[in-house]
């Protein structure tokens, strides 16, 4: 065990080497190649040692020796290693893609050195973050992670939307960091230690328990993107370079989930109402997230709202886990937290797949507006297939990985109802229906984007559509993971069970996850694929026999169908948007063509997010007008501000002295 | 024992797959009689399928591989869903804890690809049908869970076979509950199988249709696969309905088969009646109709739990 841990350290070291390489190597192209190669080597070494220690470890390793020095700053427990594994697993394809992505910019003569540095910093700090046992180290990593993501995000800072979008992310990070400082200070105050392994409080500790939970829910929940704290996601994701938005959605928002799960380890058992609170918030996030996504036409914004939905699904699992913890029921906790953990992995995989796919499209077409795409399937068949795998997976449809984790969560509902009985069946039934509703909306949403972007004919002429080898490689890795977890979930279920056994439920007590008949489900999935193959071959045989040809689509006798007459994304989603007019703030501007010989007509539709446009933005505006009252203190000279800082520090120190 | 179960499962799957077109023919025949016509023979759907099988396939020029695999995926997923349904007392081929969720989601796979295939042509005809299918599916899925799901939650079981076997008609409030559930399932069947008053299975010429317009540009074996899977789907929902009458036929071969046949006949008659006497709804009223089904499902469940 100790050896593999030491290997992890080497992996981190190797991953940090590129910073030197970037400084030393003069040529941009070479610097990028060296950086990515070394990063990849470090990540693969790291991933293999993470997996081997995750599989072999039987207990949590708290103290160990590194090069002869005893060390307590890191913690190698299953939860941390599990998240570390997710990060490295997703980082490998993202890094492969990053090479090809940044090459485009190098060819255009843009400097990418600083972006590379931020990417390396982001990778290393996120990996160290989930291993930190020390609250201070955790906070340092947290800040480095958030800030390097921010700095990477403003790659195209000359654009106005980039500056405003990233500013929301920046503000969000400060609020979260501030709350986390209070959170850890309070925990330190209660337990007199900075070590995660010493943090433990039960609900008997009174108000402090509730305060800590609220701090954690708001702070980590904002980072994860639960509604109503989701405002930064649809703003930051579209403007970030694809590599960063893939990492942001795949990994960084998962650190919020990591934080929530750690909080649970510190503070349990949870009261039941807290479980319900998390469940309701998550359900709202899932439903509204997917509904808002349906109305979007900007592919990256749409995917960002889908992250809100999927975080909601993960949150539903966590909520079930909390309820199970309140009743000390092991099966409920196992299914709830297990579903959440597996969905975290799954979402990291398919969301980075979809983001990378959207990046490839953006690079080729120069637009993120899906209304201007179409017919791409005739340009890149295999690319479309890979994107389709991600879409089917994220909609939770069998036989891919999204179904597996949602299936566990559904089982969680049924088990909760069965064990707790009383009025629970009805509440759980409503939750089941909610999740089914989310699934239906997700199908509508992903059929929309796939069909508008890829199918039919080209709405705007496509000059070129090229997918490089590296892009195919990274998309291929991610989509084959979707397929593997879907068809053969047992090893992943095994790892999740292990994580649960070490830190969520008493040792070796969980069997609810393993009791599900995974073998049978795999068999059915294989039967589906075999069936499709057999019928397809039979169909081709029959077509050989009776003939097959192509002809223009049927237009009721009208022969001049053109690409502008196709169904559009707004018309596809219109009926559902109409129904949710109030929640969506959906309005249409229709100018009908008039007179006998009509000249012009126009149509536009707008959809906004109710919580964002009616609650958060007015709130922010009010806040800024409140703060502007102290505008008289603003000076153009920086020395005044330094003076202010000095004054504040003096006041703090005086207070501190008097306190002691 | 295992072999017998397996054989029973395979036989019931084969029964579903082979009798499905007959059920559609039965409905059509009764509809014709209601409207004063003689009508096509009950086996007419078989002839139509046979005819389609021998036709040349014509694909639209704008179509891609999606149009080519979608009918195949459709027929296979529907067959897999059929393999989860219990007929009579036989244990279905696919039966495990939680198969109720797989059942709903496997049909989702078919829907996903059918919508994509419709959009693949690039014609607004199909686009309109696809958008409607996506919209109504969002409201249809909750009905499934509010009806069968509520029976599952009451019994604490998650396998379709066990759920249907848990139905015991010895309590008045439970009988009422089951009857209202079956009404909701009926509405669900009407929606999912594109029958009146949601959709008209006989025409695609109006811009108001859903299922028929989605498969407008298909022909030959593609159309065969689509038609066949829609027959199977209709029969599947019919079986979801007839299975509520399980408790009468437990452990008696002949009785079970007789009950199955009689209930199926009654069901086809009621489908035909509804299709003859009602006209199709306006499209924008359909979500309300579906929400109505959801609402009676919820009310029913609440009433049952409070009178229990």
For A295-324, how does the pLDDT look when each residue is reduced to its tens digit (9 = 90+)?
Answer: 888 999 999 999 999 999 999 999 999 999
User: What residues of chain B lie within 8 A of the CB of A439, using their CB?
Assistant: 105, 108, 141
Q: Do A381 and B142 touch (CB under 8 A)?
A: no
B287 interfaces chain A, CB cutoff of 8 Å: yes
A chain contacts of residue B152, beta-carbon cutoff 8 Å: 414
- In chain B, what residues touch A423 (CB-CB under 8 Å)? 305
pLDDT single digits (tens) B21-52 = 999 999 989 989 988 888 889 999 999 999 99
Note the pLDDT of residue B203.
Answer: 67
Tell me the shortest Cα–Cα distance from A576 to chain B, in angstroms. Answer: 6
Q: Which of B76, B132, B156 sits opposite A418 (nearest CB)?
A: B156
Of B72, B106, B153, the CB nearest to A425: B153
**Does the pLDDT at position A84 exceed 90?**
yes
Residues of B in contact with A415 (CB under 8 A): none
B91 in A contact zone (CB under 8 Å): no
Query: Taking CB atoms and an 8 Å limit, are A455 and B141 in contact across chains?
Result: no
Q: What is the pLDDT of residue A177?
A: 94
In sign, the C-alpha dihedral spanning B7, B9, B11, B14 is: negative
Residue pairs between chains A and B whose CB atoms are closer than 8 Å: 245
Measured between CA atoms, how close is A532 to chain B, in angstroms? 6
Q: What is the pLDDT of residue A60?
A: 58
Give ipTM to 2 decimals: 0.93
CB contact under 8 A, A417 and B156: yes
Exposure b/e, B126-139, CB count within 10 A at least 16 = b: bbbbbbbbbbbbbb
- Greatest C-alpha distance within chain B: 60
Residue A425's region, left for phi above 0, alpha for psi from -120 to 50, else beta, is alpha
- Minimum-distance CB partner of A455 among B77, B116, B124: B116
Put simply, the chain B residues between 58 and 77 with a CB less than 8 A from any chain A CB are: 58-66, 69, 71-73, 75-77
- pLDDT beyond 70 at B206: no
At A511, the pLDDT band (50, 70, 90 cuts) reads confident
Structure tokens, B84: 């989860």
Q: Do residues A443 and A402 lie in contact, with contact meaning Cβ atoms separated by under 8 Å?
A: no
Taking residues B182-198, report their average pLDDT: 84
Domain residue ranges in chain A:
1-262, 269-544
Beta bridge pairs of residue A603: A590
Provide φ and ψ at A69, rounded to 5°. -105, 125
Q: Which residue, chain included where needed, has tokens 């359909």?
A: B286
Cβ contact (<8 Å) for B217 and A553? yes
**Judged by CB atoms within 8 Å, which residues 120-179 of B form the interface with A?**
120-128, 130-132, 134-135, 137-142, 144-146, 149-150, 152-154, 156, 158
* CA max distance for chain A: 95
Contacts of B72 in chain A (CB under 8 A): 532, 535-536, 539
Which candidate from B96, B132, B144 shows the least CB-CB separation from A517? Answer: B96
> What is the band of A63 on the pLDDT scale with cuts at 50, 70, 90?
low
Tens of pLDDT, residues B130-177: 988 898 888 888 888 888 888 888 888 888 888 888 877 777 778 888
Residue A129 pLDDT exceeds 60:
yes
H-helix or E-strand spanning residue A152: helix A135-153
- Chain A interface, best mutation among B83, B112, B223, by max A CB count within 10 A: B112
Binary contact (A546, B97; C-beta < 8 A): no
Give the C-alpha separation, B103 to B110, whole Å.
11
**B152 vs A433: CB contact, 8 Å cut-off?**
no
Q: What is the average pLDDT score of chain B?
A: 85
Q: Which residue of A has its CA nearest to B78?
A: A528
Query: Chain B, 28-57: which have a CB under 8 Å from a chain A CB?
Result: 53-57
pLDDT (mean) for A380-388: 93
pLDDT of the residue at A537: 95
Higher per-residue confidence, A552 vs B226: B226
Give A241→chain B minimum CA distance, Å: 29
In angstroms, the separation between the Cα of residue A289 and the nearest Cα of chain B is: 15
Please give the Cα distance from A104 to A108 (Å, whole number): 6
Instruction: Identify the residue among A414, A423, A517, A561 best suited for mutation to test binding to B, counting B beta carbons within 10 A and taking the highest.
Output: A414
| pLDDT confidence tier of residue B1, bands split at 50, 70 and 90 | low
Residue among B72, B121, B135 minimizing CB distance to A536: B72
Exposure string of A467-491, with b = 16+ CB inside 10 Å and e = fewer, is bbebbbebbbbbbebbbebbbbbee
Domain range holding B254? 2-307
Between B252 and A20, name the one with better pLDDT.
A20
Contact A531 B79 (CB under 8 A): yes
The string of pLDDT tens digits covering residues A401-420 is 999 999 999 999 999 998 88
The C-alpha of A299 sits at a distance from chain B's nearest C-alpha, in angstroms, of: 18
| Residue B241 CB-density burial (10 A; 0-12 exposed, 13-18 middle, 19+ buried) | buried
- The pLDDT tens digits of the residues spanning A556-579 come to 777 777 888 888 888 888 888 888
3-class SS shares of chain B: helix, strand, coil, % to 5: 75, 0, 25
| Closest Cα in chain A, distance from residue B116 (Å) | 6
> B150: nearest CA in chain A?
A429
Residue A62, pLDDT above cutoff 60:
no
Cβ contact B302:A426 at 8 Å: yes
CB A276 within 8 A of CB A319: yes
Residues of A whose CB is below 8 A from B5? none
Q: Reply yes or no on whether the pLDDT at B207 is more than 80.
A: no
Question: Among all residues of chain B, which has the CA nearest to that of A559?
Answer: B123
Q: Looking at CA atoms only, how far is residue B207 from chain A in angstroms?
A: 11
Q: Which of residues 202-221 of B touch A (CB under 8 A)?
A: 216-217, 220-221
> B248 pLDDT band (50/70/90 cuts)?
low
Percent of chain B with pLDDT strictly greater than 70: 94
Pairwise CA distance, residues A411 & A514, whole Å: 12
Residue A609 neighbours by CB under 8 Å, 6+ apart: A234, A288, A292, A584, A585
Alpha-carbon span A309 to A313, nearest angstrom: 6
Band of pLDDT at residue B205, cut at 50, 70 and 90: low
Mean pLDDT confidence for A328-349: 93
CB B58 to CB A550 under 8 A?
yes
- What DSSP designation does A192 have? S
Please tell me the number of Cα atoms within 13 Å of A349 on its side-chain side.
Answer: 30
CA distance B221 to chain A (A): 7
Identify the H or E element spanning B26. helix B2-34
Q: Is A539 within 8 Å of B59 when comparing Cβ atoms?
A: no
Q: Which of A396, A425, A576 sits opposite B105 (nearest CB)?
A: A396
Number of domains in chain B: 1
The rounded distance, in Å, linking the Cα atoms of A460 and B135 is: 27
Which of B146, B143, B158, B185 lies closest to B100 in space, CA to CA? B158
Contact B124 A565 (CB under 8 A): yes
Task: Specify the pLDDT at position B115.
Answer: 93
Question: How many angstroms away from the CA of A309 is the closest CA of chain B?
Answer: 16
Percent of chain A past pLDDT 90, that is, above it, reads 49
To the nearest whole Å, the CA of A77 is away from the closest chain B CA by 32
């Amino acid at each position: 065990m100790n050896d593999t841990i030491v290997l992890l350290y080497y992996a981190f070291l190797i991953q940090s080497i590129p910073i030197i390489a970037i400084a030393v190597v003069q040529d941009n192209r070479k610097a990028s190649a060296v950086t990515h190669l070394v990063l990849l080597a470090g990540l693969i070494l790291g991933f293999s040692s993470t997996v081997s220690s995750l599989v072999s470890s039987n207990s949590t390793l708290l103290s160990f020796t590194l090069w002869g020095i005893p060390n307590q700053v890191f913690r190698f427990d299953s939860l941390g290693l599990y998240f570390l594994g997710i990060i490295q697993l997703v980082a490998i394809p993202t890094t492969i893609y990053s090479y090809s992505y940044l090459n485009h910019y190098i060819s255009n003569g843009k400097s990418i050195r600083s972006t590379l540095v931020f990417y390396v910093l982001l990778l290393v700090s996120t990996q160290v973050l989930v291993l930190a046992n020390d609250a201070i180290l955790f906070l340092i990593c947290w800040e480095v992670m958030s800030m390097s993501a921010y700095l990477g995000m403003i790659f195209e800072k000359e654009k106005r939307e980039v500056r405003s979008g990233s500013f929301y992310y920046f503000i969000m990070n400060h609020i979260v960091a501030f709350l986390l400082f209070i959170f850890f200070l309070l925990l330190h105050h209660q337990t007199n230690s900075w070590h995660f392994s010493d943090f433990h409080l039960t609900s008997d500790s009174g108000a402090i328990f509730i305060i800590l939970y609220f701090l954690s829910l708001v702070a980590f929940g904002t980072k994860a993107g639960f509604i109503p704290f989701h405002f930064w996601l649809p703003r930051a994701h579209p403007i970030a370079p694809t590599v960063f938005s893939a990492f942001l959605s795949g990994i960084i928002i998962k650190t919020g989930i990591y934080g929530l799960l750690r909080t649970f380890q510190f503070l349990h058992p949870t009261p039941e109402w807290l479980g319900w609170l998390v469940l309701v918030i998550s359900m709202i996030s899932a439903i509204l997230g997917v509904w808002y996504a349906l109305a979007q036409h900007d592919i990256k914004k749409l995917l960002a709202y889908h992250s809100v939905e999927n975080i909601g699904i993960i949150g539903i699992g966590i909520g079930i886990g909390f309820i199970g913890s309140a009743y000390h029921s092991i099966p409920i906790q196992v299914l709830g937290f297990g579903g959440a953990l597996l969905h975290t992995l799954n979402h990291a995989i398919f969301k980075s797949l979809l983001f990378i796919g959207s990046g490839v499209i953006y690079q080729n077409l120069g637009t993120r507006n899906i209304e201007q795409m179409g017919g791409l399937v005739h340009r890149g068949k295999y690319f479309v297939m890979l994107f389709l795998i991600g879409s089917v997976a994220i909609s939770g449809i069998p036989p891919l990985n999204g179904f597996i984790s949602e299936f566990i969560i559904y089982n969680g509902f049924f088990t909760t109802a069965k064990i707790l009985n009383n009025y629970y069946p009805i509440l759980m039934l409503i939750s089941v229906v909610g999740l089914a509703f989310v699934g239906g909306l997700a199908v509508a949403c992903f059929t929309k984007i796939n069909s508008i972007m890829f199918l039919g004919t080209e709405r705007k002429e496509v000059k070129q559509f090229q997918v490089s080898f590296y892009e195919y490689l990274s998309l291929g890795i991610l989509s084959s993971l979707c397929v593997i977890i879907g068809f053969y979930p047992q090893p992943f279920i095994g790892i999740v069970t292990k994580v649960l056994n070490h830190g969520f439920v008493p040792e070796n007590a969980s069997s609810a996850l393993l009791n599900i008949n995974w073998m049978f489900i795999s068999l059915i999935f294989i039967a589906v694929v075999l069936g499709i193959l057999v019928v397809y071959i039979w169909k081709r045989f029959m077509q050989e026999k009776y003939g097959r040809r192509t002809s223009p689509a049927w237009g009721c006798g009208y022969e001049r169908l053109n690409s502008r007459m196709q169904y559009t994304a707004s018309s596809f989603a219109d009926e559902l948007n109409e129904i949710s007019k109030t929640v969506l703030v959906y309005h249409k501007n229709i100018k009908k063509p008039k007179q006998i010989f009509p000249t012009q007509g126009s149509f536009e539709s707008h959809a906004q997010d109710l919580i964002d446009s009616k609650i958060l933005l007015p709130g922010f505006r009010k806040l800024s007008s409140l703060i502007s009252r102290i505008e008289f203190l603003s000076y153009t000279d920086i020395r005044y501000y330094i003076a202010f800082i000095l004054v504040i520090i003096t006041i703090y120190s005086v207070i501190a002295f008097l306190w002691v | 024992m295992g072999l017998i179960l397996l054989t029973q499962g395979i036989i019931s799957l084969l029964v579903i797959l082979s009798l499905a077109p007959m059920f559609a023919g039965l409905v059509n025949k009764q509809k014709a009689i209601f409207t004063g016509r003689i009508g096509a023979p009950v086996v007419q759907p078989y002839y139509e399928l046979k005819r389609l099988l021998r036709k040349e396939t014509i694909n639209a020029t704008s179509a891609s591989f999606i149009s080519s695999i979608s009918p195949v995926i459709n027929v296979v997923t529907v067959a897999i869903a059929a393999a989860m349904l219990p007929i009579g007392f036989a244990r279905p081929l696919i039966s495990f804890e939680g198969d109720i969720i797989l059942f709903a989601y496997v049909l989702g796979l078919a829907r996903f690809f059918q919508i994509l295939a419709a959009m693949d042509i690039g014609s607004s005809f199909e686009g309109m049908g696809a958008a409607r299918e996506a919209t109504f599916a969002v409201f249809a899925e909750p009905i499934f869970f509010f009806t069968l799901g509520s029976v599952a939650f009451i019994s604490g079981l998650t396998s379709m076979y066990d759920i249907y076997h848990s139905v015991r008609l010895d309590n008045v409030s439970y009988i009422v509950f089951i009857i209202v559930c079956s009404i909701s399932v009926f509405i669900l069947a009407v929606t999912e199988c594109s029958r009146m008053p949601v959709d008209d299975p006989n025409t695609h010429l109006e811009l108001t249709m859903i299922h028929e317009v989605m498969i407008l540009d298909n022909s030959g074996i593609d159309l065969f696969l689509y038609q066949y899977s829609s027959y199977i789907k209709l029969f599947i929902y019919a079986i979801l309905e007839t299975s509520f009458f399980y408790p009468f036929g437990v452990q008696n071969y002949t009785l079970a088969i007789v009950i199955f046949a009689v209930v199926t006949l009654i069901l086809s008659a009621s489908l035909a009646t509804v299709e003859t006497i009602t006209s199709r709804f306006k499209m924008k009223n359909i979500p309300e109709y579906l929400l109505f089904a959801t609402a009676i499902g919820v009310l029913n469940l609440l009433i049952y739990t409070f009178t229990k």
